Structure 1
Amino acid sequence: MALSDTVTTVQQTIATTLGTRSLLGTNGLAYLFFSATALFYAHGWWTGDKRRTTRSRKRETNLDARYVAAGFALLLVAGATAAMVVPAGTHEYGVVSAEFESEQPTVIPVGQSNDVEYPLVNSGVLPVVSYVEPASDGVEVAESRRVLPAGGQAAATVTLHAAEQTGYYRRYVVEHRYLALLPVGVIDALYEMHPWAPIVAIDVLLGVPFYLLGVALLGTGRIRDRSRDGPSLLGRLGRRFR
């Protein structure tokens, strides 16, 4: 919850500063992640170019290519994890157990219950699997698992039960969300084991092939730059695609 609140606050601050809503939600998180990665690479290229122009002597820089591949794989995994963790979390309903009828869905006569809708929105470009479960007493959820396509919307029916005594009571539901990169049955089985198990499996599914692809492109040796006029890492990658 602290991580989700922090990321949401940062997104809202940047979106307000730039005057755009496109940086909010899951898509906005992806844009910010891509922008930060691009700025990081541009900064490294710029500072490296300045050092090359100010030095006349030859130099040698050693960097293990596997560390480079692992670093980009970790960035990808971090972005995927944030896309699953940030939109999820715990939601609170304030229920008033009253002795009268009311049009407010959370003001419920003593001992009775009422249904409310929990909105589910997928603003990303990948389908997601969402689970909404009770997180306190006095709550029931019908059809807790929903599969949302890219840009899809749905609603889970949450039944709130009023206490036998009048007063104000807090009811909670918790949502867990996962990128639908595994079969739904596999995600169901992993979710039954632990809510974090699907996240770990999806991160491994993304990170390991990306790392292996990076190693295949960069090799397993050290990246060396012996001359100020030598080809850059980007240039060497380009040659491998030719």
Structure 2
Amino acid sequence: MTSAAFLKRGLGLVVAVCIVLLLVGQLLGQPILLGYVATGSMEPTMDAGDGFVAIPSIAAGSVEEGDVVVFEARELHGGELTTHRVVGETEEGYVTRGDANPFTDQDGGEPHVTDGQIVAKAWQVNGEVVTIPYLGSAIMGVRGVAESAYGTVAPILGLTTTADSEGLGALLVAGGVALLGFGVVIERLGPGVRETTRSRSRENVIAFWTALGLALLVFVTFATAAMVVPSGTTEYELVSTETPDDNPQILAPGETGELARTVDNAGYVPIVVVHEAESRNVATDPSAQTVGIRSSGETTVSLTAPDETGEYTRHVGEYRYLTVLPPSVLVWLHGVHPLVAIAAVNGVIVGITVVIVLVVFGRNDLRVRSAGDHVPLSTRLERKFRK
């Protein structure tokens, strides 16, 4: 492969990855490494349609004044994700504002932003956000085409869902399957390509390291998904009032109410669950627990009403880890950083997978025997049954 062809493929791969990350981020409701702004509220820092590198909150560290954050708004833009700068902090949370706006979001009716609402931080170098011009414009164009296509195809196929994330996700998956099938048909029925070079590779042989890499990819992917997907932040509404009632979330100023929180483990591996308060005046007991196979556990969430009356929002984070290490070790690693705990679990899984592959297959390359395309399927099945 020439350097020009290699560069062309590399550039195409980068563009494809960017588009996939942005689309997946839109479908999941939070940016995945890349985000963009759709309005001019952050000008001149970011123009409408500019993209930026989004560092997930789990890896971004603490939020400080001056940071540009992506948070789940409660009032702004109909409660959608909003990218604004942190300009202050109070006991109730962060004060945010778009650089182009003359007033803060909280002056406009948006409640203070808590750590539990923040999903990512924009990457900044020397205090300046690193932007990717027109990246958001490109993805909005792709999304517009997808919405138009969905609006045309949905009535024909009898789809009742609207062109929201679920509908567009179904359309993208269907389109991908259709393109894959079309490619297979073209490959099978299209004109053949004469080979001009002689292959030195051994057919039907899978290298040991390739097989091991595939096994690691499968196990680590599923293990990471089992830990990350069920984790998240739970939101609790709290009312501080002079006329409280029996509801543990409607309290007198300074009073504390308790709620029971159930943790379910539908998997076949025990898990360690760590509960973390992501708002002020919130506590959990126990803060960490082990939940057995296909079992459930319970923790108590304590909410304390502020001295000033009003409606408030509190958040509790939940982090899950497969119990391949002692629970106390996992809790300690979580205290260092959640990513450290996840990496440690995956490290143990990698070691176990390597041992299993070595014991079952050895270190020799794997040979996959084939009867040949000239042998009819019925004959192959007959031979199998004879064995």
TM category, shorter: 0.5 to 0.7
Q: State the partner residue of 2:64.
A: none
* Contact 1:134/1:140, CA 8 A, preserved across alignment: yes
Aligned equivalents of 1:222, 1:150: Cα separation in 2:
34
Hey, which of these two has a bigger chunk of helix by percent?
1
Pick from 234, 237, 248 the counterpart of residue 91 of structure 1: 234
Q: State the partner residue of 1:199.
A: 342
Aligned equivalents of 2:370, 2:286: Cα separation in 1:
62
Over 6 Å off, 4+ runs: 224-227
Aligned equivalents of 1:170, 1:204: Cα separation in 2:
37
Pick from 219, 243, 252 the counterpart of residue 100 of structure 1: 243
Counterpart residue identity of residue 204, structure 1:
G
**1:49-198 mapped onto 2 (5 Å cutoff):** 60-61=202-203, 63-198=206-341
Aligned equivalents of 1:118, 1:153: Cα separation in 2:
10
Kindly state the Cα deviation for residue 218 of structure 1 after the two structures are TM-superposed. Answer: 6.0
Q: State the partner residue of 2:164.
A: none
**Structure of higher CA gyration radius:** 2
Counterpart residue identity of residue 100, structure 1:
T
Q: State the partner residue of 1:232.
A: none
Aligned equivalents of 1:97, 1:175: Cα separation in 2:
25
Kindly state the Cα deviation for residue 221 of structure 1 after the two structures are TM-superposed. Answer: 4.7
Kindly state the Cα deviation for residue 192 of structure 1 after the two structures are TM-superposed. Answer: 2.1
Kindly state the Cα deviation for residue 69 of structure 1 after the two structures are TM-superposed. Answer: 1.5
Deviations 1:156-199 (A, max 9, x none): 11110111112111101111111111112221321221122221
Give aligned pairs, total: 186
Counterpart residue identity of residue 188, structure 1:
V
Identity rate, percent: 28
Q: State the partner residue of 2:363.
A: 219
Counterpart residue identity of residue 87, structure 1:
P
Kindly state the Cα deviation for residue 94 of structure 1 after the two structures are TM-superposed. Answer: 0.9
Gaps of 5+ in 2: 1-23, 30-184, 189-198, 374-387
Kindly state the Cα deviation for residue 142 of structure 1 after the two structures are TM-superposed. Answer: 2.0
Aligned equivalents of 1:210, 1:151: Cα separation in 2:
23
Gaps of 5+ in 1: 8-46, 51-58, 230-242
Aligned equivalents of 1:190, 1:196: Cα separation in 2:
9
Higher relative contact order (CA 8 A, sep 6+): 1
Q: RMSD of the TM alignment (CA)?
A: 3.6
Task: Give the alignment's TM-score, normalised by structure 2.
Answer: 0.42
Task: Give the alignment's TM-score, normalised by structure 1.
Answer: 0.65
Deviations 1:92-111 (A, max 9, x none): 10111111022222111122
Aligned equivalents of 1:169, 1:136: Cα separation in 2:
10
Counterpart residue identity of residue 317, structure 2:
V
More off after superposition, 168-177 vs 179-188 = 179-188
Aligned equivalents of 2:226, 2:321: Cα separation in 1:
8
* Contact 2:274/2:331, CA 8 A, preserved across alignment: no
Aligned equivalents of 1:213, 1:96: Cα separation in 2:
54
